Amino acid sequence: MEKTERVPLMPAPTPLHRLHRLEEQWGCPKIYIKRDDMTGIGPGGNKIRSLEYILGEAVKEGSKVILAAGPAQSNLCTLTAAACAKVGLDCELVHNGTEPEKKQGNLLLNQILGVKSHFLGDVDSDARNAFVEELFEKYRREGRNPYVVRNGATTGRGALGYTAAVPELMKQCQAQGITGMTIFAPGGNGGVAAGLVYGNAVMGNPFRIVIVSVEDDRENLKKHIADTVREVEAITGIPAGKSVEELCSIEDGFRGRGWGVNTSESAREIFEFARAEGIFIENIYNSKVLVGMRDWLGKGKAKGPVCYLHTGGFGSLFAQY
């Protein structure tokens, strides 16, 4: 890990603290939050940890322009643009969607950052990715040595960000006298989950990890995580030692109709959590993790201290209502 290319972006560690009002409301003690919405770049969020390693590789390769793609309100795109600004790299974003007359949410932040954005209209992710490859080839021919942030930063290199987060969290728990913690984290395309699972494994499994799916069923999410863990192993040369199902629990009962679609419980949690703790969570992703954690605690499936990993997404919240 220490030898892997990395550019420092965030003021680590991010805070770890109790949620006292939530404890009172839920009737459960020792509920913590890991504030990865406070990663110090742009609106903050989990992708900054990944981008430290991804942009580290880009800088080593001498890249002059970074390409990232996603829906109009993509948190990854905005955080990539903000991170590139800090590092001094050009960044271009590709969106499948129509450019609105009035920019809101992450699109407003992208405009403030001065990043060039391409809007492709109503096309699918395959067409969007094909356009990215065309841009890549164009800039390669021009000698700009472009670099693409692929698969929403869910790669072995991107997952190293959360591999490194495990010893960070271990030190915080040691300082606060916390033992036997269960971490609840989101599972989208598996990048955060893979980094946590792998990092926890190589550190001797100090934590119990529960991954709450926001999109796929258990088997598909397990495959995403396992594929990314194998990429991490190839980079570090250190095996995880066990299968994904041995290293974490995957909960797919709170995803509703999948990514980008609220459940009634997750929609309600947005308001209840903010009104209990003064902390904002976005409308679709983090909220489902909170619903899953609440259910596990209510059923006694998690014993001892628990930690809600807040992965950010604040910028997109402004365009979700």
- pLDDT at position 260 is 74
- pLDDT at position 258 is 78
Closest CA to 37 of 278, 293, 300, 292: 278
- pLDDT at position 257 is 86
- pLDDT at position 284 is 75
Alpha-carbon distance 192 to 312, whole Å?
12
- pLDDT at position 261 is 82
Locate tokens 């390669």: which residue? Answer: 140
- pLDDT at position 2 is 55
Q: What is the pLDDT tens value at each position of the chain, 321 positions in all?
A: 556 899 999 999 999 999 999 999 999 999 999 999 999 999 999 999 999 999 999 999 999 899 999 999 999 999 999 999 999 999 999 999 999 999 999 999 999 999 999 999 999 999 999 999 999 999 999 999 999 999 989 999 999 999 999 999 999 999 999 999 999 999 998 999 999 999 999 999 999 999 999 999 999 999 999 999 999 999 999 999 999 999 999 999 999 887 778 899 999 999 999 999 999 998 878 999 999 999 999 999 999 999 999 999 888 888 876
Helix (H) or strand (E) holding 251: strand 249-251
Q: What's the half-sphere exposure (Cβ side, CA atoms, 13 Å) at 29? A: 3
Alpha-carbon distance 37 to 16, whole Å?
11
Contact 234, 193 (CB under 8 A): no
- pLDDT at position 266 is 93
- pLDDT at position 108 is 96
Amino acid at 170: M
- pLDDT at position 141 is 96
3-state secondary structure of 45: strand
Alpha-carbon distance 203 to 230, whole Å?
17
- pLDDT at position 89 is 97
Instruction: Work out the angle between the directed axes of helices 47-60 and 156-176 (0-180°, nearest 10).
Output: 130
